[in-house]
Structure 1
Amino acid sequence: MPTIAAYMGAALAEIAGCFSFWAWLRLEKSPLWLVPGVISLALFAWLLTLVDSDAAGRAYAAYGGVYICASLFWLWSVEGVRPDRWDLIGGTVCLVGTAIILLGPRAATVPTT
Structure 2
Amino acid sequence: MKIFGLFLITTLAEIIGCYLPYLWLREGKSVWLLVPAALSLAIFAWLLSLHPAAAGRVYAAYGGVYIFMAILWLWAVDGIRPTTWDLVGSGVALVGMAIIMFAPRSV
Query: What corresponds to 2:34 in structure 1?
Result: 34
Query: What corresponds to 1:64 in structure 2?
Result: 63
Alpha-carbon distance between aligned partners in 1 of 2:46 and 2:87, rounded to the nearest angstrom:
29
What are the Cα deviations for residues 29-86 of structure 1, in whole angstroms up to 9, with x where unaligned?
Answer: 1110110001001111111111111x20101111111111111111100110011011
How many residue pairs match? The answer is 107
Query: What corresponds to 1:102 in structure 2?
Result: 101
Deviation at 1:107, TM superposition (A): 2.5
> Which amino acid counterpart does residue 13 of structure 2 have in structure 1?
A
What's the secondary structure of 2:78's corresponding residue?
Answer: coil
Alpha-carbon distance between aligned partners in 2 of 1:5 and 1:94, rounded to the nearest angstrom:
16
Deviation at 1:21, TM superposition (A): 1.0
TM-score (norm 2): 0.95
How high is the sequence identity, in percent, across the aligned residues? 53
Deviation at 1:4, TM superposition (A): 1.5
Kindly indicate whether residue 9 of structure 2 is the aligned counterpart of residue 9 of structure 1.
yes
> Which amino acid counterpart does residue 106 of structure 1 have in structure 2?
R
| Unaligned ranges ≥5, structure 2 | none
Would you identify which runs of 4 or more consecutive aligned residues in structure 1 move more than 6 Å?
none
Which structure carries more helix by proportion? 2
Alpha-carbon distance between aligned partners in 2 of 1:80 and 1:92, rounded to the nearest angstrom:
20
What are the Cα deviations for residues 9-42 of structure 1, in whole angstroms up to 9, with x where unaligned?
Answer: 1111000110011101111111101100010011
- For the pair shown, which has the larger CA radius of gyration, 1 or 2? 1
